[in-house]
Structure formats: C-alpha cells, structure tokens
Amino acid sequence: MRENIHEAQSTEDHHQKYQNPITRLSSKLTKTWVTTKIFIFVLFIIVLSASFSLMHTFVLGESRLQIPSIRNTNKSTTITTTTSNIPKILVKFPLNCTSLNGNTTQTCPLNYPTKFEPAISSSETCPDYFKWIHRDLKVWQKTGITRETLERAKPNAHFRVVIKSGKLYVHQYDKAFQTRDVFTIWGILQLLRMYPGQIPDLELLFLCHDRPAIWKRDFKKNRKDTWPPPPLFHYCGHRDAYDIVFPDWSFWGWPELNIKEWNKLSVALKEGNKKVKWEDRVPYAYWKGNPHVSPIRGDLMRCNFSDKYDPMVRLYVQDWVREIEAGFRGSRLEDQCIHRYKIYIEGNAWSVSEKYILSCDSMTLLVKPEYYDFFFRSMIPMKHYWPIRPNNKCGDLKFAVEWGNNNTEEAQVIGRQGSEYMMKNLEMKYVYDYMLYVLQGYGKLMKLNVTVPENATQVCSETMACPITDGGQIRQCMDDSLVMYPSVKAACDMPPPYGDYELKKFLKKQESARRKAEKWTDQYWNLRGPK
Ligand SMILES: *[C@@H]1O[C@H](CO)[C@@H](O)[C@H](O)[C@H]1NC(C)=O
Ligand SMILES: *[C@@H]1O[C@H](CO)[C@@H](O)[C@H](O)[C@H]1NC(C)=O
Ligand SMILES: *[C@@H]1O[C@H](CO)[C@@H](O)[C@H](O)[C@H]1NC(C)=O
Ligand SMILES: *[C@@H]1O[C@H](CO)[C@@H](O)[C@H](O)[C@H]1NC(C)=O
Ligand SMILES: *[C@@H]1O[C@H](CO)[C@@H](O)[C@H](O)[C@H]1NC(C)=O
Ligand SMILES: *[C@@H]1O[C@H](CO)[C@@H](O)[C@H](O)[C@H]1NC(C)=O
Ligand SMILES: *[C@@H]1O[C@H](CO)[C@@H](O)[C@H](O)[C@H]1NC(C)=O
C-alpha cells in the first residue's frame, strides 16, 4: 500500500474537471463524431451514396452546439455502405446489459460479430513507432514462448489474460493500484470489438506497477535456466529491460484523477489550444506535479530560484489530496495550455502526463527520460520537443525559454509538431492498431497450448460495465470509450522493422539533434560565465 500511494502520486500531474451536463452532452456528440470519423472519411472520399440520416449526424457532430433531435439513437442503427461492389452492413452494438433489477447475472452477448472483413483496405503505413514492436519481441524470435518461459513471468504479474477464439478470460493474482488493471483489460476488450477474428489465441501476463520488472542483467543467454527471459507486458520499457511495452490504461480513462479517455480528451485539448494563442501565452516554462516521487523531480524544484538571473520557470507542487477534495476545480487539462513552454520530467518511471503535456501546442522542454512508453521512441529532439539534460536542468531550461522567446517562429513550430505527433500518430485507431500488431506478433510466438486456467473468468464489456450503475466516472469512461462496431477500415500497414543499420542511423539523428541544442546552450553559458 505504501508503494501504491507512492505510485499514485508519481504517475500523474494533471486532471480535468468533471464537465457540466451540457458540455458533457455536446462532448457525447463529439465522441460520436470521433468514433465515426474514419467512416466519414470513407463516405466523403469513396462512397458518395451515403444514407442521409448519417450525414445528418455528422453535421450535428461537427457543430456540437445544440441538443438536436438525433434520429440515430436507435439501438441498432444500420448503416449501409457500398464499397467495391460488396455491400457491407454495419450494425452498432451498444452494451447489452441485462435488466438491473432481479438477481440474474450479466452474460456476454453472443451476437457480436466474431469475424469481420474491413470494407476499406488500408492505404497508409502506420506511424514509425510501430517499428519498435518487432524489436520488443525479438528476444523470443528464435525460441518462441513455451509454457515454462511464460510462467516465469507470473510472480511479477497482476493478472493473466487468455484470449481463446476471440473470447477473453482473466485470472487476477493481485489487485493493481486504482483502476489500472480494469482499464487495461477494458482496452483489450475494445480491441477485440474493433478487430474481431484478428487477435490470435494467446496467454499473456501483465504488470501494472510503474517500473519494468524483467531486467536484462538477470537473464543471460548462456544460462539455460533463465533463457529466454519471461515475457511480461507493461506500460513502459527501459533500454536495460525486456518488458513488452503496451499502451497504458489512461487511453481509456483515469477516473480517479478525473481524466477522460483519450478520444474525448484529445478533442478537448485541441479545442483548448485555440483559447490562448501562442504569442499571448505566458513566456515561461511551466510544470506542476509531485516533486517527492523521484530525486530528479526534487532537483527540478531547485531551478525555481536564482539570485543571479530570472530562471524563466514556473514550478508548482501538486497537492493531490487537496485537488481531489476540491473536485479538481481549476485543473482541467484543456485549460492548462497557457504557457509557451511546458516541462516534462518523469517520476517513478514514465509519466502518463507526457501525452497531455505534448498536446498543448507549447514547446515541450523534455528532460531526457530513462523510461519510454510505446510512442516515445520515434520522437525527435528539436522537431517534436526541446531536449533538456538531466544533469543540467536549470541552465538548459533557462536557455531554451530565452531562445524560444527570441525565436518565436521556430519555438512555435516545435510546439506544433509535438502536438501534431500526439493528435495524428496517437489517434485511438493507431493505439488499437499498435495493440493489434503487438498481440499478433506475440501470438505467433506461442509455443504452448493456450488454455483457460481453472479460476479464470470470462470477461466482456458487459460484465465489466453493466454492474457499475452509480453514475460515476468509471462507467462514464467505459461508455465513452466503448467500441460500438468493428472497424470498417483495416489496420494500417505495418512498416518494415528497423534493420540494424537503419536503427543506428535513426539513433544518430536523434543524438545529433540533442547535441545541437547542447552546443547552443553551452555556448550561451560560456559567454555568460558561471551559472
Ligand atoms: C428502432 O428500430 C426499430 C426496429 O428496427 C423500430 O421498430 C423503431 O421504431 C425504431 N425506433 C426509432 C426511435 O427510430
Ligand atoms: C433472486 O434469487 C432468489 C434465490 O435465488 C429468488 O428467490 C428470487 O426470487 C430472485 N429474485 C428475482 C427478482 O429474480
Ligand atoms: C441482448 O442480449 C440478449 C440475451 O443475450 C439477446 O436476446 C438480445 O438480442 C440482445 N440485444 C441486442 C440489441 O443485441
Ligand atoms: C519558488 O521560489 C520562490 C522564491 O524562492 C519561493 O517563494 C516559492 O515558494 C518557490 N516555489 C516552489 C514551488 O518551490
Ligand atoms: C535573447 O535576446 C536577448 C536580446 O537580444 C539577448 O541578450 C539574449 O542573449 C538572447 N538569448 C538567447 C538565448 O538567445
Ligand atoms: C498441445 O496439445 C496437443 C493435443 O493435446 C498435443 O499433441 C501437443 O503436444 C500440445 N503442445 C504443447 C506445446 O504442449
Ligand atoms: C482455484 O481456486 C481454488 C479456490 O480458491 C483454489 O483452491 C485452487 O487452488 C485454485 N486453482 C488454481 C489453479 O489456482
């Protein structure tokens, strides 16, 4: 429990106020808009014979102003598109909850498609960060994953997920902190709804703590009893660890901190960015969080003060207890993009706040992290963010801010490119595509007979969501992130994996961008004497 409190404070720096009913309603429409976006695209580009009522919804979705009489609220709206000559019938599958009164148990519906042929084949390559999937799984390429190999991961796992014939079973070993496990499983369930029939049978073990657990130093190729390392799914990776990186729970919501699922939140952030133009934003670097979770954060707080110069930073301590008590008033994420520069610094490990900070259209000053989440490894310094050295934070921060204020055009471009990376490459569709490819790649490695363990239970969206009827945030996040029907668009095309040469070249590119910033910074400080 001690560790848990520690973790709670470590991973998140932001949250959002609960929306009032009207905004919520309009956001609901936004959601409709977002989930059907791919669809619209198709309709506009390929299929010109779309049904009129569908168009009507899109218009409403886009204006997001009034509360319209939505004709499309019928439980199973049937949408017919005609791509190539084959008509595809698309039916919506909302949660099918059995009636609340009485003591019948919730069952998993049998009518959700178990196979679905996407009408639109992919014509785009996935973002570059997909290239890392292959590398994350490479260590098992030769040996595959046997029962013995898999079970060695169990002592570190919070739960086991078994997918067999498209059905999902969970065996929980340990309760994870807050709802991390709940929303991680929920996310995999949504993936199954998105791409029915495309997830192979598999068994996986998942760790929900902050830090990876399968450290390379403990597993050596020449020691047969430890090789290959046990495969463990986790939210972040480290160059010295073998953990398999998987999207974290916050993409489906973090109700305890009032953080909405990513689909909805990214739209709100995009809107929020329009509120204060970059030029009008506070020309300082902003950070708010808990400095007590890691020495490097405590160290950052010292940049707050200098008797020789203006340190150009605005640092604030987040008091979670007080924030929670106050109902998160005044801490909506989308209202926090009012500084020209935002600092990202990891806590106990990677921080969920990364995607929110990078989404601000502000230039992110990113203290070089040790841990990475699934999308970070393909980001490029000076293109998507300004790199800050962990051992020279204060001087680097001051220079970066001054440089940005002297070169506003360039600083804005870096800010914008960082946000575009989040908004485009991290669209929920891509998050699911990433999960799909990780699980497909992982499934291929299974050298064991996938079996449902004795004490595992079948879990579906209905068994998770339907019993939650308190009108609270957890159910809200689930309703907001529910995948209503299989994707009409196929997953993006997997880019070829990094070859050794290509990877070297890419890492060199990252490194030389980092060096450039360091050189400028050092030149500046050398002229000015001691820091
Ligand atoms: C919903 O669909 C059913 C069956 O297709 C139909 O009987 C009903 O009138 C529809 N309801 C609305 C509100 O359109
Ligand atoms: C609930 O279950 C009990 C015993 O199984 C039964 O007596 C009772 O009628 C049930 N209630 C409803 C509303 O179905
Ligand atoms: C909901 O589930 C019940 C029982 O499983 C089934 O009979 C019914 O057709 C389902 N309804 C919808 C709208 O899918
Ligand atoms: C920042 O420095 C000022 C001046 O020393 C101090 O009053 C303030 O409390 C500091 N803020 C934080 C968050 O440490
Ligand atoms: C920014 O411009 C001012 C005024 O020209 C100059 O004194 C300062 O050194 C510049 N700082 C950076 C980091 O370029
Ligand atoms: C899986 O089960 C089949 C049939 O029971 C058996 O022949 C096979 O050896 C098993 N494979 C493994 C890897 O245990
Ligand atoms: C399943 O649960 C029962 C009762 O809690 C326990 O006795 C049994 O050992 C469990 N089986 C496994 C495989 O964990």
As given in the structure block, the two tokens for residue 514 are 């980092």
CA 307 vs CA 295, 302, 311: distances in Å: 23, 12, 9
The string of pLDDT tens digits covering residues 463-484 is 999 988 889 999 999 999 999 9
Ligand 7 atom with least separation from CA of 455: 1
Fold of 256-372+376-425+506-528: Rossmann fold (3.40.50)
| Cα dihedral sign, 50-54-60-63 | negative
Share the mean pLDDT of the chain: 82
Residues 327, 17: contact at Cβ < 8 Å?
A: yes
What stretches of 291-391 adopt beta strand conformation (E)? Answer: 313-317, 339-344, 363-367, 371-372, 386-388
As given in the structure block, the two tokens for residue 380 are 């490029």
- Whether the predicted pLDDT of 315 surpasses 80: yes
| Cα dihedral sign, 165-465-62-336 | negative
The string of pLDDT tens digits covering residues 491-510 is 999 999 999 999 999 999 99
- Whether the predicted pLDDT of 136 surpasses 60: yes
Instruction: Specify the pLDDT at position 335.
Output: 76
Ligand 3 binding pocket includes 99 (Cβ within 6 Å)? no
Q: Tell which one of 340, 396, 405, 406 to mutate to probe ligand 5, the residue whose CB is within 8 A of the most ligand atoms.
A: 406
Which ranges in 13-124 belong to alpha helices (H)?
21-35, 37-45, 52-63
**Averaged pLDDT, 250-261:** 91
Cα–ligand 7 centroid distance for 174 (angstroms) = 14
Q: Give the largest CA-CA distance in the chain.
A: 77
State the Cα–Cα distance between residues 418 and 355, nearest whole angstrom: 10
Ligand 4: residues with CB < 6 A are 301, 304-305, 315-317
Cα–ligand 1 centroid distance for 95 (angstroms) = 17
**Element of type H or E holding 411:** helix 408-420
- Structure confidence at residue 328 as a pLDDT band (50, 70, 90): low
Q: Tell which one of 446, 449, 451 to mutate to probe ligand 6, the residue whose CB is within 8 A of the most ligand atoms.
A: 449
Main-chain dihedrals φ then ψ at residue 95, nearest 5 degrees: -60, 135
The pTM score is: 0.81
Percentage of residues in the chain having pLDDT higher than 70: 80
Strand 78-83 versus strand 86-91 pairing type: antiparallel
Helix axes 37-45, 21-35, angle to 10 degrees: 50
Cα–ligand 6 centroid distance for 450 (angstroms) = 10
- Whether the predicted pLDDT of 52 surpasses 50: no
- Structure confidence at residue 89 as a pLDDT band (50, 70, 90): low
Ligand 7 binding pocket includes 454 (Cβ within 6 Å)? yes
CA 183 vs CA 43, 53, 180, 187, 382: distances in Å: 32, 33, 6, 6, 34
Ligand 2 binding pocket includes 102 (Cβ within 6 Å)? yes
State the Cα–Cα distance between residues 244 and 214, nearest whole angstrom: 9
Least trusted range by pLDDT, from 4-18, 85-99, 253-267, 400-414: 4-18
Residues 359, 199: contact at Cβ < 8 Å?
A: no
Residue 303 CB-density burial (10 A; 0-12 exposed, 13-18 middle, 19+ buried): buried
- Whether the predicted pLDDT of 88 surpasses 60: no
Domain layout of the chain by residue ranges: 29-58, 128-248+436-496, 256-372+376-425+506-528
DSSP β-bridge partners for residue 120: 489
Residue 471: CA count within 13 A, CB half-sphere: 1
Ligand 6 binding pocket includes 448 (Cβ within 6 Å)? yes
Ligand 6 atom with least separation from CA of 449: 1
The residue whose C-alpha atom lies closest to atom 1 belonging to ligand 4 is 304
DSSP β-bridge partners for residue 80: 89
State the Cα–Cα distance between residues 333 and 189, nearest whole angstrom: 27
Ligand 6 binding pocket includes 450 (Cβ within 6 Å)? no
The residue whose C-alpha atom lies closest to atom 4 belonging to ligand 6 is 449
State the Cα–Cα distance between residues 351 and 371, nearest whole angstrom: 9
- Whether the predicted pLDDT of 346 surpasses 80: yes
Within a 10 A sphere around the Cβ of 144, how many other Cβ atoms? 13
- Structure confidence at residue 102 as a pLDDT band (50, 70, 90): low
Look-up: residue for tokens 């880019």? 495
Q: Which ligand is nearest to the CA of 288?
A: 4
Ligand 6 binding pocket includes 526 (Cβ within 6 Å)? no
As given in the structure block, the two tokens for residue 231 are 């495969």
As given in the structure block, the two tokens for residue 313 are 């930073």
- Whether the predicted pLDDT of 429 surpasses 70: yes
